[in-house]
Amino acid sequence: MKKIIFTALLVVSFIATAQEEEKGTFTLSGTVDVYGTANFADGSGTPGILIASPENANGFGLGFANTVFAYEKGKAGVVADIAFGPKADDANLAGAINQLYAFYNVSDKVTFTAGQFNTFLGYEVISPAANFNYTVSYLFNAGPFSHTGIKMDYTASEDLSFMLALTNSHAISSADGNVGGELQFGAQVGYKGQFLNFIYGGVDGSGITDNIFVDYTGGFDLSDSFFVGVNAAYSNSSDADAGYQGAALYLQNTFSDSFALGLRPEFFTYTSGAGDTSVTAFTLTANTSLTENLKLITDLRFDNSDDFIIEAFPTEKSVSALTIAAVYSF
């Protein structure tokens, strides 16, 4: 009798497992963020909140509503990342689409991805839930946000990984169309949490195709509570005679499960044949988790530029701003 019961349980377990594999796995996640901000200068805006129009970040404002639908069955799956709101309007390449791609796991080590996916360059990302600071760096705003094309990820070991990508020029949206056929070649080498990234090709359909981007992103735990993140980047085009270079540190100390304090010093320079222009920015951030899903991010930021290139303040040499944001993730 025991054997019959045991056999029956095995059959039921096998059927349940088969049905689960047949249905696949569906997940839903996302974020919502809102903020209040004030500057201590003449004029309106706060650097680093809105990508294309930082001067519109005044008083209380909306970030974006971001919803990610993902479905995976067997070796393949799809991701639809939909984002609405002022911050999303500047970052999305195709309407409300932040990301939209399909992937195929050839093996445990090799994955192919095709569609629109967020960039592999840089330390900061589009979603504020994944960033320690709320306002973003000049490096983030200067670099690409997303790419449309195909990439291959290869995990050589637990510590070593490689990526190759062939995409459209990253500033060409669905409204533009890749009429000139401009492409970018991308690559990444990752080792123990340190990543060296490379992009070469066109950017915006202008016909200039010798743009090069080199980016290092990484970080180190100096103790159980203190972390140092690093982002350094270089970009240049000989044909355009223009580019940029910069570096930022992310110094973060975790005091408890619900509170951390960080400082982000950044040094950024636009380069050109006509002369270089530079800006520095220092952001002191308090990151407070009110619940498992809701956190407050408070940024006290100071930007300084003798070349008058502070975002939203082209006539000011220095600007201070205070921003408090509520970010809910699910």
Instruction: Summarize pLDDT for 59-93 with one digit per residue, the tens.
Output: 999 999 999 999 999 999 999 999 999 999 888 98
Q: Are 162 and 186 in contact (CB under 8 A)?
A: no
Distance CA 184, CA 147 (A): 9
What pLDDT is recorded for position 317? 97
- As beta bridge partners, residue 24 has none
What pLDDT is recorded for position 52? 86
Nearest to 281 by CA among 89, 130, 88, 141: 141
> Which tokens is 229 given?
């993140």
Domain boundaries, the chain: 29-329
Number of CB atoms found within 10 A of residue 129's CB: 18
What pLDDT is recorded for position 21? 55
Residues 6+ away with beta carbon under 8 Å from 18: none
Distance CA 230, CA 177 (A): 35
- CB-facing half-sphere around the CA of 223: CA atoms within 13 A: 7
Q: Residue 127: helix, strand or coil by DSSP?
A: coil
- As beta bridge partners, residue 155 has 161
Q: Enter the CATH code of domain 29-329.
A: 2.40.160.10
Nearest to 93 by CA among 169, 179, 30: 169
> Which tokens is 70 given?
């993902």
Record the pTM.
0.90
What is the block-wise mean pLDDT of the chain (330 residues), using blocks of 10 residues? 43 47 88 97 93 92 96 97 92 92 98 97 95 98 94 98 97 84 96 98 94 98 97 97 98 98 98 96 98 98 98 96 98
Number of H helices, E strands in the chain: 3, 16
Report how far apart, in Å, the C-alpha atoms of 250 and of each of 203, 261, 283 are: 28, 10, 10
CB burial readout 234-252, b (16+ within 10 A) else e: ebbbeeeebbbbbbbbbbb
CA Rg value for the chain: 22
Q: How many residues in the chain?
A: 330
Residues 6+ away with beta carbon under 8 Å from 277: 269, 270, 305, 307, 308, 309
Report the first-to-last Cα separation within the chain, whole angstroms.
47
Q: Residue 89: helix, strand or coil by DSSP?
A: helix
